Structure 1
Amino acid sequence: MNVLFIGDIVGNVGRTAVKKVLPALQSKYNPHIIIANGENAAAGRGITSAIVKELLESGIHGITMGNHTWDNKDIFEWIDDQPRMVRPANFSEEAPGRGSAIIKANGKELAIVNLQGRVFLPPIDCPFRKADELVDELRTKTKCILVDFHAEATSEKIAMGWYLDGRASLVVGTHTHVQTNDDTILPGGTAYLTDVGMCGSKEGVLGMERGAVIHKFRTQLPVRFVVDEGDWHVHAILVEIDEATGKAKRTQKIRMTETDWLML
């Protein structure tokens, strides 16, 4: 089974880019299931029900989230009605929504789990203990499991990769928006990447207008961040999974820009 995971989609620029390149990615790589991180899809912060519908209709089969899950407050009204969207499972037990789901498409099925780190992020429940609980339960239903670990610290992400080696098919990091060059298959058969990167403007700072970000760093004064409208780039990873064992067989990082994607 081929699984395509698309990095953090940032604002309208990121959504436009993904919808533009997705047919070419489907044609070249033949992914059976496509998952994307959508926590920045609405103007860089959070997501809306209309955007969830837009992404699913574009060909994405499942959506993961992160620390901006609750930024659009109307999400509390509809998140329970979105079985193909997951938010970090180690949020409060009273939080609406779900932390895992089984996605079915093209005759295949893939369990997805969303976790959030605790280093340099707000204090929440332990992602490692929650991973034990969910992954062990999901393995009774399917051997193919993807974990999106939405975390800031590379050390915490690497630790999670090793912790789940042999239990998850893929552990991929999100949140920092910069694609790392450490994709590998760990000894137990788990594909790992510290951060898959992002989809959005490559001319901003992590997808946001660079002038405001630079001003914030220079002055430490409050500023309003807005999504940059410059040329885009798209980051993703393709993983081939052995359905009989749940182990990864092959990984391939994907990087495209607005000026070169037609070379696919």
Structure 2
Amino acid sequence: MKILFLGDVMGRAGRAAVTERLPALREKLGLDFVVVNGENATSGAGLSEAHAKLLFEAGADVVTLGDHAFDQKDMMSYIDKEPRLIRPLNFAKGAPGRGVRVYEDHRGRRIAVAQILGNVFMKRAFEDPFGNIEAALRPLTLGGAVQAIVVDVHCEATSEKMAMGHFLDGRASMVVGTHTHVPTADAMILPGGTAYLTDAGMCGDYHSVIGMEKAEPLRRFVTGMVKGRFTPATEPATLSGFYVETDDKTGRAVSMAMVRDGGRLVPTLP
């Protein structure tokens, strides 16, 4: 199975990159399933119903969220109506939506998608990510009940993401980090057959400070004073993500590559 994961979609520029480039990328790579992290797609904070629909229309099979899952108020009601949306498993007790679901691709193969929030350096403490993801995946035998499992690890600390990758090695097809908006260069297949990448990066304008126009972040770093709001950068965006091909019989990864398409980053796929 050919799976593509795209990192955090950042504002208008990120949305434009997904709508303009994902359809062609899906055809070029012969993709079977696409997961997109969309938690910053609306004004850089959260995801609205209208923008979620746009990502689905562009070719996303599933859209994951993150710690900004419910920054847009309409998501509180929309997420229960749209099963293709995934919020973090350990977000909060009573949060609407679900943190893991099983889907089917165009050939009827079953793919589980789950998302978990880390705790290190995050603004608030969430429930234990390791215990929560273990319980969620326990009934989903890789290569048995499902042909592939994709886990989005939404964390600040690279060490916590790496620990999660090793924790799930052999139990997931792909473990990929999101949240920092900075792509890492450590894509690998772990000993148990799990494809791993610490951070997929963002689908956004990299002539920025993690997707935001530079002036206000620079002012705050240099002077320690706040003058205005952060606003998403609007120059041409780069699609940034992780491509993995799996073996249907085992669910394990057989090949992988980092994805850079358009914008400012150097391409890593032919």
What CA distance in whole angstroms lies between the structure 2 residues aligned with 1:127 and 1:207? Answer: 27
Report the CA distance between 1:116 and its aligned residue.
0.5
2:200 alignment counterpart: 196
The Cα offsets for residues 46-97 of structure 1, whole Å up to 9 and x where unpaired, read as 0011111111111110011111111112211221111011000012231111
Alignment of 1:57-136 (within 5 A): 57-107=57-107, 108-121=109-122, 122-136=124-138
Paired letter, 1:30: G
Candidates 233, 237, 248, aligned match of 2:242 = 237
Question: Secondary structure of the equivalent of 2:245?
Answer: strand
Paired letter, 1:5: F
The Cα offsets for residues 100-138 of structure 1, whole Å up to 9 and x where unpaired, read as 111222213310000000001110100000011011122
Q: How many residues align?
A: 263
Candidates 174, 179, 183, aligned match of 2:187 = 183
CA contact (8 A) 2:121 2:157 kept: yes
Question: Secondary structure of the equivalent of 1:97?
Answer: coil
Task: Provide the alpha-carbon RMSD of the alignment.
Answer: 1.6
Equivalent pairs: percent with the same residue?
43
What CA distance in whole angstroms lies between the structure 2 residues aligned with 1:117 and 1:123? Answer: 8
Question: Secondary structure of the equivalent of 1:44?
Answer: coil
Report the CA distance between 1:27 and its aligned residue.
2.5
CA contact (8 A) 1:169 1:191 kept: yes
Report the CA distance between 1:21 and its aligned residue.
1.2
Report the CA distance between 1:257 and its aligned residue.
2.5
Paired letter, 2:115: N
Alignment of 1:1-264 (within 5 A): 1-107=1-107, 108-121=109-122, 122-139=124-141, 141-222=145-226, 223-258=228-263
CA contact (8 A) 2:114 2:151 kept: yes
CA contact (8 A) 2:238 2:263 kept: yes
Question: Secondary structure of the equivalent of 2:222?
Answer: helix
What CA distance in whole angstroms lies between the structure 1 residues aligned with 2:221 and 2:184? Answer: 24
What CA distance in whole angstroms lies between the structure 1 residues aligned with 2:191 and 2:99? Answer: 27
Moved more, 252-261 or 201-210: 252-261
What CA distance in whole angstroms lies between the structure 2 residues aligned with 1:203 and 1:49? Answer: 28
Report the CA distance between 1:229 and its aligned residue.
1.0
Instruction: Compute the TM-score of the two structures, normalised by the length of structure 2.
Output: 0.93
Question: Secondary structure of the equivalent of 2:21?
Answer: helix
CA contact (8 A) 2:174 2:194 kept: yes
Q: Which runs of 5+ in 2 are unaligned?
A: none
Instruction: Compute the TM-score of the two structures, normalised by the length of structure 1.
Output: 0.95
The Cα offsets for residues 132-173 of structure 1, whole Å up to 9 and x where unpaired, read as 101112226314100000000000000000000010110000
CA contact (8 A) 1:204 1:230 kept: no
The Cα offsets for residues 18-63 of structure 1, whole Å up to 9 and x where unpaired, read as 1111132122211100000000000100001111111111111001
Moved more, 218-227 or 135-144: 135-144
What CA distance in whole angstroms lies between the structure 2 residues aligned with 1:26 and 1:102? Answer: 21
What CA distance in whole angstroms lies between the structure 1 residues aligned with 2:163 and 2:4? Answer: 23
